[in-house]
Structure 1
Amino acid sequence: MSDAPSPLPALCLIGENATRLWGMTNAERLRRLARAEGLPEDAEAEAGERLYVNLAYVFDPVWLRHIRTQPGTVVTDGGELVLAHLTGGMTPGDLERHRGALTFIEYRDDPQIYNRQLRKLDCPFIQRLTPATRREIERKSYFGAYKGVTDLLTKYLWPELALGLTRIAASLGMTPNMVTGIGAAMCLWATYLFSQGLYWSGMLAGFAFMVLDTVDGKLARCTVTSSKWGNVFDHGVDLIHPPFWWYFWGVGLSAWGLALSPRAFALVMAAVIAGYVLQRLIEGMFIKDFGMDIHVWRPFDSRFRLITARRNPNMVILFVATIFGRPDIGLIALAWWTVISLIVHAVRLMQAYGVKRSGRPIVSWMEAKP
């Protein structure tokens, strides 16, 4: 038996639909999704290997990713064909004759699919695209691009604001990298303001950056314009800037007459920076050794991700402390929370290694659901 992977199906569009979504036609959106998944052009496909898609419908990209490697699978909505991975020269007109040889997934039965990239388990949306449903579908595709496991601010505070900004960016023809660039400028401006003790202005600039950090990713996913360079740019900024924010926050305390002693400042910075780096390393080790994010292992890990010592929860600590006129205590509390979060992650990593040594599999609680 050959170990060569099965050829991927070619995209084959059914029907027509002039309604635009995020500034593009459904056909263009599907072609972008197909290219992103490495699907060949119809003319380049192996004989009979096709992924038929009904242009009357829009669906979450997870469906395409899910069906492309499952020959003989058909997805329907109320019995209407949405997409089908057919082989052997079979066409949508042959479905009834070959029903017994095919696997049908009915959307209205609420099938659950685990999205590893966005760390969530749900039933990805499918909906008929018309001028009347366009904005509703844009909303669904936007929230469909949200990570299921993330921090409390990203999850609960600014989704609606970021949705509006994503729509504006799409209508202006902005690319995700443009949004990331504006956000990076706001990030640098916030760093400078923190260093001067201008904490309220700095938090406003930081808030703008944090929202734009959501917008660029959602714009990339909704308009299917992700790029390798864009991911490096976005994640690079996200990864590097937090320790600089906390350091220059400490520098700015002198403007408030609340500067920490050299020894206290050194201890706080050691805890904040070392804790941040080590926590990131633990997360990387978990992905390397267990093939998944540490925050999707068990429900506890997913809940802890809401408040773990990352940038956004840390900014909540500093915001509350500044309201009470004690940004110095906020920085010290941030350091303690970083140490506590590091300990939690280290314990979870050791527990995972213990489970592995016992011979039990490490599986995400989301994937383990029936």
Structure 2
Amino acid sequence: MQPTESPLPAVVPLGDNPVLLWGMTAHERLRRIAAARKLPFADVAPDSNDTSDTVILSNLAFVFDPAWMAWLQPRPGTVLTRRGEIVLAHVAAGDRAACERAILDGTPIPPHLEQVAAERDEGIFNEALRKRERPFAEALVPAAVPTIERASYVGAYKGVTDLLTKYLWPEWAFALTKLAARVGISPNGITAIGSVLCIVATIAFWYGWFWTGLLTGLVFMVLDTVDGKLARCTITSSKLGNAWDHGVDLVHPPIWWWAWAAGCAPYGRPLSDETFWAVMAAMLFGYVVQRLIEGAFIVRFGMHIHVWERFDSRFRLVTARRNPNMVILFAALLVMRPDWGIVAVAVWTMLSLVVHGVRLVQAIWRARAGERLTSWLA
């Protein structure tokens, strides 16, 4: 069934489930999902006589990826099932009572409604990320909580990322995300801790205390993963949190590179004035222009440059962003040449800029030739 324009449906929880996921009951998690999509939350008894609204019925015996709510909202007359049981049902007034009975009493689902199995192989298409994915929808029972929390966490990784975030610290970040959820630390609290560590790392780099800076920076980089994952897993994203997190991410890398280059002098490996300013110019220019290229690609083609073709996703693993650059600096510090490291980062930044520039030109040329560009992940 194709999406259609419809009034905002009310989200109605059915049943009860005391099992906690990320420190929340299924009822509270559903309320947060509805609030995130600005949908009314009609916390009413199943036998309510109110049949005036289009509703999304939610079976609290199950939990689901929020992507399913976004997918179901524009699809009235659609039922999401898991092993034949209703998880969500977007229905009009006339079908509400029958679907409530199907959820609570196990009666048959009205046959005229379209049933979509959550376990189907094709999954759903995420319009925002321009990729196909398979969101989870599972029965919420105590034995299944670890598996569901991991699926929820993995689902919070959106798009493509660098090699450290993908391979080195997912398990660290997963453990810290669970700990933060259990003790009640908010995503903004994690961002605040990370911001302090980011400043400490900058000061350490400036004075040539590179190992201290790298260790502090490593913790900050892991927490930079945790805050976003915690916000998505606990459904607590906020405009302030997004602005704060992305603002820190955007501003601090050039400051780190400046501090590292300056710290080479107290370390005993000073850069010449000419090399220092050449490195700073290359890194600042490369950093800004690469961001502009990524933005231009999104505006022109409606997707991120790193999800266009397989090559672009693989190059994102090592492209001159903060984390891959830190690997270069770490390797140089192993041989006690931080000066070589910052020069290598500047060279890699310019090479990455060339790659991104060429890919943007290729995309424009192919689009003008009549090709419709799509993500290889779709």
Q: TM-score, normalised by structure 1?
A: 0.93
Contact 1:114 1:366 in 2 (8 A): no
Structure 2 residue 168 is matched with structure 1 residue 157: yes
Change (3 A) 1:252 1:278: same
Match of 2:329 in 1: 318
Aligned equivalent of 1:196, options 195, 199, 207: 207
Deviations 1:39-63 (A, max 9, x none): 1233899934111111111111111
Matched, 1:86 2:86: no
The one-letter code matched in structure 1 to 2:278 is L
Displacement of 1:96 = 4.8
TM-superposed CA distance for 1:108, in Å, is 2.8
Amino acid in structure 1 at the alignment position of 2:58: V
Report % sequence identity. Answer: 54
Aligned counterpart, 2:47? none
Counterpart-to-counterpart distance in 2, 1:130 and 1:326: 54
Q: Pick which of 306-315 and 288-297 moved more.
A: 288-297
Structure 2 counterpart of 1:57? 62
Q: Which position in structure 2 is the counterpart of 1:66?
A: 71
Are 1:362 and 2:373 matched, yes or no?
yes
The residue correspondences of 1:205-216 to structure 2 (distance < 5 A) are 205-216=216-227
Task: State whether structure 2 residue 311 is matched by structure 1 residue 306.
Answer: no
Whether contact under 8 Å (2:9, 2:73) holds in the other structure is yes
Aligned to 2:196: 185
Conservation of the 8 A alpha-carbon contact between 2:82 and 2:117: yes
State the AA in 1 paired with 2:316: R
Deviations along 1:310-360, whole A, 9 cap, x unmatched? 000000010011111111111111111101111111111111111221232
Query: 1:170 and 1:120 mapped to 2: Cα distance?
Result: 28
Deviation string for 1:175-194 (max 9, x for gaps)? 11110010000000000000
Is the Cα–Cα contact under 8 Å of residues 120 and 147 in structure 1 kept in the other structure? no
Query: 1:165 aligns to what SS in structure 2?
Result: helix
| Paired AA for residue 53 in structure 1 | S
For the residue of structure 1 that corresponds to 2:18, the secondary structure is coil
Distance in 1 of aligned mates of 2:5 and 2:122: 27
Q: Which residue of 1 aligns with 2:353?
A: 342
Give secondary structure in 2 for the equivalent of 1:363: coil
RMSD: 2.0
CA distance in 2, matches of 1:43, 1:132: 27
* Equivalent of 2:244 in 233, 240, 259: 233
| Structure 2 residue ranges without an equivalent (≥5) | 45-49
Contact 2:14/2:58, CA 8 A, preserved across alignment: yes
Give CA deviations for 1:39-88 in whole Å, capped at 9, x if unaligned.
Answer: 12338999341111111111111111111111122111111111111124
Name the stretch that deviates more: 307-316 or 350-359: 350-359
1:116 and 1:194 mapped to 2: Cα distance?
Answer: 41
Q: 1:48 touches 1:86 (CA, 8 Å); kept in 2?
A: no
Gaps of 5+ in 1: none
Letter paired with 1:138: E
Distance 1:290 1:81 in 2: 37
Q: Which residue of 1 aligns with 2:82?
A: 77
2:7 pairs with 1:7: yes
How far has the Cα of 1:23 moved from its partner? Answer: 1.3
Tell me which amino acid in the other structure corresponds to 2:59: N
Separation of aligned partners in 1, 2:130 and 2:257: 28
User: Does the 8 Å contact 1:14/1:53 carry over to 2?
Assistant: yes
Asked whether the 8 Å contact 1:119–1:147 carries over to 2, the reply is: no
Rate the CA distance shift 1:151–1:120 in 2: closer, same or farther, 3 A: farther
Among 177, 194, 199, which residue is 1:166 paired with? Answer: 177
Moved more, 125-134 or 269-278: 125-134
CA distance in 2, matches of 1:97, 1:83: 12
Distance in 2 (alpha carbons) for counterparts of 1:250 and 1:238: 20
Q: Does 1:175 align with 2:186?
A: yes
Q: TM-score, normalised by structure 2?
A: 0.91
Is the contact between residue 282 and residue 345 of structure 1 (CA under 8 Å) also seen in structure 2?
yes
Equivalences, count:
363
Q: Which amino acid aligns with 1:121?
A: R
Q: Is the CA contact (8 Å cut-off) linking 2:12 and 2:43 kept in structure 1? A: no
